[in-house]
């Protein structure tokens, strides 16, 4: 696009500008885009001439956007998204589905689902690239609402939110721990129950996610309603850390079956489901209301429920 000043405003230059703004450095943008730093600096300088003002301040750690750059950034990113959508839509109409699909996954489903989805996309949509973003439901939900990801598989406990949801499965939450620790706990308690009431975990040492977190919020709200004091002995923002503590110590957590299916199958962990009807988790496929629904996104979204059904049929996930 040629401006009144006679300069050409290109998508390439805007992409470079956004990369510098998001990485906070010319070197970071160069590495991300595979360009020389001199080329990055030249394109930024050309944009500054075109826009009539500086875009970045130099700092000891890189660069910081000016007020002008922040305003330009707010307009540039939707413009680039629209250009990508145009290309992907045209290719889809021509029968060549391509483009990037950004998928948010909660840790409980990420390993298995991302592996199955990778295989399916490689086989059926070889021109589509997947970008997997892992995080807890609240974080993924926020990104989805902001429009920084296309799709998400996350946990829901209430029918609320601005995005669109399709339920994949409902599953009870369980008190989970190392097999020896679980067996010792129930021997001391006089016998293992088939299922647990919430009041029965009141004194159990729990390792739970750092709030805000959907499971944590649900537990704390239910415990407060029943006047139960939860014994939270450790918090962690990583499911890997939580599992390691359970494996190494006589501690417990509250998780859905699919989060620990491999450990339960191997016999490393044991679990007892919570009986309270409120202690159930819905795993849903969510789509963003803030991003274009391209042909690539639509086809990947259609794959996910089928993969979920296959995992349920294999016993990897459980209703």
Distance from C-alpha of 160 to C-alpha of 312, rounded to nearest angstrom = 25
The β-bridge partners of 280 are: 172
Mean pLDDT on 23-43: 88
CATH number, domain 171-280: 3.40.190.290
The predicted structure's pLDDT at residue 92: 58
The predicted structure's pLDDT at residue 215: 86
Mean pLDDT on 299-315: 92
* The domain made up of 11-89 is a member of CATH 1.10.645.10: no
pLDDT at 1 over 60: no
Considering only 56-65, 151-160, 247-256, 298-307, which range has the smallest mean pLDDT? Answer: 151-160
Every domain of the chain and the residues it spans? 11-89, 92-168+282-313, 171-280
Task: Check if 11-89 and 92-168+282-313 are the same fold.
Answer: no
Question: What phi, psi does 58 have (nearest 5°)?
Answer: -85, 135
The predicted structure's pLDDT at residue 2: 46
The predicted structure's pLDDT at residue 163: 57
Digit-coded pLDDT (tens) for 261-274: 889 989 999 999 99
- Strand 151-156 to 99-105 pairing: parallel
The predicted structure's pLDDT at residue 6: 46
Distance from C-alpha of 29 to C-alpha of 34, rounded to nearest angstrom = 8
pLDDT at 8 over 80: no
CATH fit for domain 92-168+282-313, picks 3.30.1490.20, 3.30.1330.60, 3.40.1710.10, 3.40.190.10: 3.40.190.10
């Amino acid at each position: 696009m040629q401006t009144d000043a006679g300069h050409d405003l290109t998508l390439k230059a805007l992409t470079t500008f956004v990369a510098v703004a998001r990485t906070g450095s010319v070197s970071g943008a160069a590495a991300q885009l595979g360009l020389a730093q001199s080329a990055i600096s030249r394109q930024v300088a050309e944009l500054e001439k075109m826009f009539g003002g500086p875009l970045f301040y130099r700092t000891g750690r890189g660069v910081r956007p000016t007020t002008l750059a922040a305003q330009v950034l707010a307009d540039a990113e939707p413009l680039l998204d629209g250009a990508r959508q145009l290309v992907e839509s045209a290719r889809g109409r021509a029968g060549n589905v391509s483009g990037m699909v950004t998928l948010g996954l909660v840790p409980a489903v990420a390993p298995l689902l991302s592996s199955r989805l990778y295989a399916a996309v490689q086989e059926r949509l070889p021109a589509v690239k997947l970008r997997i973003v892992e995080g807890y439901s609240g974080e993924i939900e926020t990104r989805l609402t902001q429009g920084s990801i296309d799709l998400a598989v996350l946990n829901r406990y209430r029918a609320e939110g601005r995005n669109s949801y399709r339920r994949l499965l409902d599953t009870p939450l369980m008190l989970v721990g190392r097999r020896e620790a679980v067996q010792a706990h129930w021997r001391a308690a006089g016998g293992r129950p088939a299922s647990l009431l919430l009041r029965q975990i009141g004194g159990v040492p729990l390792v739970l996610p750092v709030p805000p977190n959907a499971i944590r919020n649900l537990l704390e709200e239910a415990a407060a309603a029943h006047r139960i004091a939860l014994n939270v002995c450790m918090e962690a923002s990583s499911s890997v850390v939580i599992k390691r503590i359970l494996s190494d110590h006589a501690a417990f957590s509250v998780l859905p079956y699919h989060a620990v299916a491999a450990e339960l199958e191997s016999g490393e962990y044991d679990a007892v489901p919570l009986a309270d009807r409120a202690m159930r988790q819905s795993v849903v496929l969510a789509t963003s209301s803030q991003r274009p629904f391209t042909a690539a996104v639509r086809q990947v979204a259609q794959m996910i429920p089928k993969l979920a059904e296959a995992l349920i049929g294999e016993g990897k996930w459980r209703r």
